[in-house]
Amino acid sequence: MMPCDYTSKSGQVIGFDLDAVFDLVGGSSKLRSGWSSLVVFVPSTNAFVELRSSPQDYRGNSADEAEEIDEKYIQNTFGLSEQQLASFKSNPNKWQFLDYREGKNA
């Protein structure tokens, strides 16, 4: 088990097991300019969560945060369709992770 927390839409801090999530898409966050993003689905809470990391400072350190997001944000930020999200939610084990991070191929 790898414990982690995210901030829900209501502002509540919710704990979850990072080992039990399903990866959806990776790329750049639109909520934090310049930050990298990994969107995961947390089955225990039925929530999409954006895991964000800031660019590294001169010492190599970066800040991290996790925040619940909605499907509209995923569609607008990463270009996924309603059909793709429905397919993912119906069978996340078969989903092919989409990687839009810099230097990666989708």
* pLDDT at residue 86 in the model: 94
Domain boundaries, position 68: 3-99
User: Would 104 be classed as within a structural domain?
Assistant: no
User: Would 106 be classed as within a structural domain?
Assistant: no
User: Would 30 be classed as within a structural domain?
Assistant: yes
| Beta-sheet strand order (sheet of 3-7) | 13-17, 3-7, 64-69, 47-53, 36-42, 22-28, 98-99
User: Would 28 be classed as within a structural domain?
Assistant: yes
The rounded mean pLDDT for the chain is 94
Number of domains in the chain: 1
Closest by CA position to 51, among listed 103, 1, 2, 106: 2
pLDDT digits over 31-40, tens only? 999 999 999 9
Whole-model pTM over 0.85: yes
User: Would 25 be classed as within a structural domain?
Assistant: yes
pLDDT digits over 55-83, tens only? 999 999 999 999 999 999 999 999 999 99
